[in-house]
Structure 1
Amino acid sequence: MILSMTGYGRATAGNKKFVVDVEIKSINSRYLELFLKLPQLLQNKEYELRELIKNRIKRGKLSVVILLKKNGQAEDEIALDEHKLKNYLSLLKQVKKAAKISDKIKLEHILYSRDIFTSTVEEISEEEFKVVTNALNSAIDNLLEMKKKEGKELEKDLKKRIKLIEKKLDEIESLSQGSVNEHFVKYQEKVKLLLEDKAQSILDERMQMELAILAERADITEECVRLRSHLKFFLEAVDKEQEPGRKLNFLCQEMNRETNTISSKTLSVNITHNTVFIKEEIERIREQIQNIE
């Protein structure tokens, strides 16, 4: 089954006191890369959240944003502790009096003390953390659903291109029938042209054997068989592999290798044109594969 690496998922979960919003964005990456943006309250839970994601997503660059709200306020919203503020102002007045400072107390003096500011949510219980994991799992479910839909479209495109390659390979195999004999005749004609009148006396049995061996090297039967085998394995991987991305990329390399060999061995212009078409399709397939998990 093919899954796209690009996708988006979002979910919200909560209870009477607690609400969590989760947003996940995924794009292409060779490996799994996680970037988590968490509220202060969940910093000590980052490892558990990462492991949960890793168990469900194998490849891609994921950006995960989690927001917490309790009693209608965001977790990281700053609140003023008025009791601490009064104590701090009293302390400043005492300092002024003891130091005999006549300057007025300004807002900037008050802001120097971080103790007067508190977070509206100070701790999270196991029950509340379960709300977080439920929201995260739901967001991952939505992400996977989108990845599956895109994966189906990718699968259709890949199979269509493999069929086009198979059709061109059929043409190449048809054109290559008797190609060894054709190459042998062409080599003979070239030798005769080079030697002119001396051709009949020099083209002895040894020369004929050398030309035959040279013509035999232009045979592309083995390359066609291997290319067809790679195409078969490619389709099987698309249908049966759970995580086919890396295997499909390897098969693309092998398909391209066989196609290049066919192109370099043949003397047929039509076969060469067909190999160019095949290489173009392989490159398009390779580009598509970069988006597969």
Structure 2
Amino acid sequence: MVKSMTGFGRASKETEDFKVTIELKAVNHRYLETVFRLPRQFHHLEASLKKVITQKVKRGRLECFFSFEGAKVAEKHLAVDWELLDHYVRFLRQAKERYAIQEEVDLEALLADPAFLTVSESSEADPELPALITSVLEKAVARLDDMRAEEGTELALYFKEHLVKLERLLESVKEAIPETEKAYREKLEDRLAKLVGADFDEKLVLSELALLLEKADINEEIERFASHLKQFYSILTQEGAIGRKLDFLIQEMNREVNTMGSKAMSLSITQCVVEMKTTLEKIREQVQNVE
């Protein structure tokens, strides 16, 4: 089954104490890479969350954005360095007396200084949150997978349309071979007639023609290309990640077409080869999007 590597999935769930929202954004990548945008107190969950993702996603770069709401998401603690603050206030009072300063001590300014007062969050999350996060992630992944499958269906139709075109072009190449062989013989006979006259050795013609046709023979390449076409159709129906298989197969098909082009001594075959290479390139570009 064809699946795209690109897609988006979003899910949200709210309880009495929390609201968790997860957004997933997937793009093309050679392997599976997951990037979690999680607060520090949830970093220990990354391994288990990745297992949820890998159940459905095999390739691609996946960015996971987490949003948490609720008073119990993380406890905040107020820390005051009273000893340092006492020293500072005593110093200010002594400075006022020593230098006859009239201004009062600005308590608000002191509290804004992180040297005296800090607010920190607990590194431990509420025990209810991991199960809730996992549940929301499963829904987000399912929606992402649905989108990837929909795009994959469109890609499969695109591939089949272009495979049909390749089949027609390959048939045209086959049909051109007898006419090409006939043209080779006529050219060879005409050349010999100009060199030695009409009275030339027929065996020599057949011998030279056999050597020429052997060098230009593309039947083996045609058979292999036809086999690759069947294999391509078969891979499209397989489950799991198939993108790499298709990419390798396209390389093999290009190799066969290039060999046909190098051997071909017929304008009609050369024209078919050019169209086949163009069509293969279109397929290759879209194969890069397949998981």
TM-score by length of 2: 0.85
**C-alpha separation in 2, matches of 1:173 and 1:133:** 57
Q: Which runs of 5+ in 1 are unaligned?
A: none
**Which letter does structure 1 place at the counterpart of 2:61?**
K
1:224 aligns with 2:222: yes
Change (3 A) 1:157 1:204: closer
Shift of 1:94: 3.3
How far does the alpha carbon of each residue in 1:130-172 deviate from its partner, in whole angstroms, 9 at most, with x for none? Answer: 0000011110001000001100000000000000110111111
Equivalence map 1:1-293=2 (5 Å): 1-71=1-71, 75=73, 81=78, 84-85=79-80, 88=82, 91-97=84-90, 100-102=94-96, 104-105=105-106, 107=109, 110-113=112-115, 116-119=118-121, 123-190=124-191, 193=194, 196=195, 198=196, 205=203, 208-293=206-291
Counterparts of 2:273 and 2:289 in 1: how far apart (Å)? 25
1:176, CA displacement in angstroms? 1.1
Is the Cα contact below 8 Å between 2:23 and 2:65 reproduced in 1?
Answer: yes
Contact (CA 8 Å) 2:27, 2:61: kept in 1 or not?
yes
Aligned mates of 1:122, 1:70 — CA distance in 2: 16
Deviation at 1:126, TM superposition (A): 4.1
Q: 1:169 to 1:229 in 2, by over 3 A?
A: same
Q: Give the SS at the match of 1:51.
A: helix
Question: What percentage of residue pairs aligned between the two structures are identical?
Answer: 32
Q: What is the SS of the residue equivalent to 1:9?
A: strand
Q: Residue 260 and residue 70 in structure 1: after superposition, are their counterparts in 2 closer, same or farther (change >3 A)?
A: same
Query: Is the CA contact 1:19–1:68 (under 8 Å) kept in the aligned structure 2?
Result: yes
Asked whether the equivalents of residues 9 and 140 of structure 2 are also in contact (C-alpha less than 8 Å), the reply is yes
Give the Cα separation in 1 of the matches to 2:123 and 2:242: 45
CA distance in structure 1 between the aligned counterparts of 2:116 and 2:4, rounded to whole angstroms: 46
Where 2:289 maps in the other structure, the secondary structure is: coil
Return the offset for 1:239.
Answer: 1.5
- Alignment length, in residue pairs? 282
Structure 1 residues 184 and 283: CA distance shift in structure 2, 3 A = same
Which moved further from structure 2: 24-33 or 48-57? 48-57
Q: How much has 1:54 moved relative to structure 2?
A: 2.7
SS in 2 for 1:124: coil
Tell me if the contact between 2:34 and 2:64 (Cα under 8 Å) persists in the aligned partners: yes
Q: One-letter code of the match for 2:248?
A: F
Gaps of 5+ in 2: none
Distance in 2 (CA, whole Å) between partners of 1:114 and 1:68 is: 30
CA 1:64–1:190 in 2, change beyond 3 Å: closer, same or farther? farther
| Mean CA deviation greater in 258-267 or 47-56 | 47-56
> TM-score with structure 1 length normalisation?
0.85
TM-superposed deviation, 1:181: 4.2
Q: Cα RMSD over matched residues?
A: 2.8
Residues 62-85 of structure 1: CA deviation (Å, up to 9, x unaligned): 1111122223x8x47x9673xx45
User: What SS does the aligned partner of 2:216 have?
Assistant: coil
Question: Quick one: structure 1 residues 131 and 272, their matched pair in 2 at CA, closer, same or farther if it must change by over 3 Å?
Answer: same
When structure 1 is superposed on structure 2, of 255-264 and 283-292 the one drifting more is 255-264
**Closer, same or farther in 2 for the Cα pair 1:115/1:55, shift >3 Å?**
farther
C-alpha contact 2:11 2:136 (8 A) present in aligned 1: yes
